[in-house]
Amino acid sequence: MDFIYQNILLIALVLVSGVALILPMLMGSGGNDVNPAAATQLINREDAQVIDVRQAEEFAAGHLPEAKNVPLAKLADRINEIERFKDKPVIVCCASGMRSGKACGELRKLGFAKVHNLSGGIDAWVGAGYPVKKGTRNR
């Protein structure tokens, strides 16, 4: 019992760290996570459609080539714009992978079968040296 009292801060730190590590797994992405290399293969080999769920301003600053911008908050309202992709692979991305994880779950509920979350988002894409386009052309 003395150990617990003497090391309460250390125990609290361990518990908080454990929760921080486990929470993303419990939340789940609703889709299969893919890294930038795997996403490139899906795009090139299986004609995957990229859906960027960031806000329009973020999208304009830089996005994957041929990505379609459908902000997460408007996904349900604009589902008719992407319904034609239900039967093909869809890669969902955002800045870091969190919003896109939520979007993957929503798309699965709406009947999209081949949904993939770009792990690390556009940040990982750029970090891996892949190209981005600027502007809002693919909205």
**CATH number, domain containing residue 121:** 3.40.250.10
Average pLDDT, integer, range 42-70: 96
Give the chain as a DSSP string.
-HHHHHTHHHHHHHHHHHHHHHHHHHH--SSEEE-HHHHHHHHHHH-PEEEE-S-HHHHHH-B-TT-EE--GGGTTTTGGGTGGGTTS-EEEE-SSSHHHHHHHHHHHHTT-SSEEEETTHHHHHHHTT---B-SSTT-
Confidence of residue 27 (pLDDT cuts 50, 70, 90): low
97-106: pLDDT as tens digits: 899 999 999 9
Residues forming the active site: 94
* Domain count across the chain: 1
Residue 1 lies in a domain: no
Examine residue 100 and state whether it is found in any structural domain, yes or no.
yes
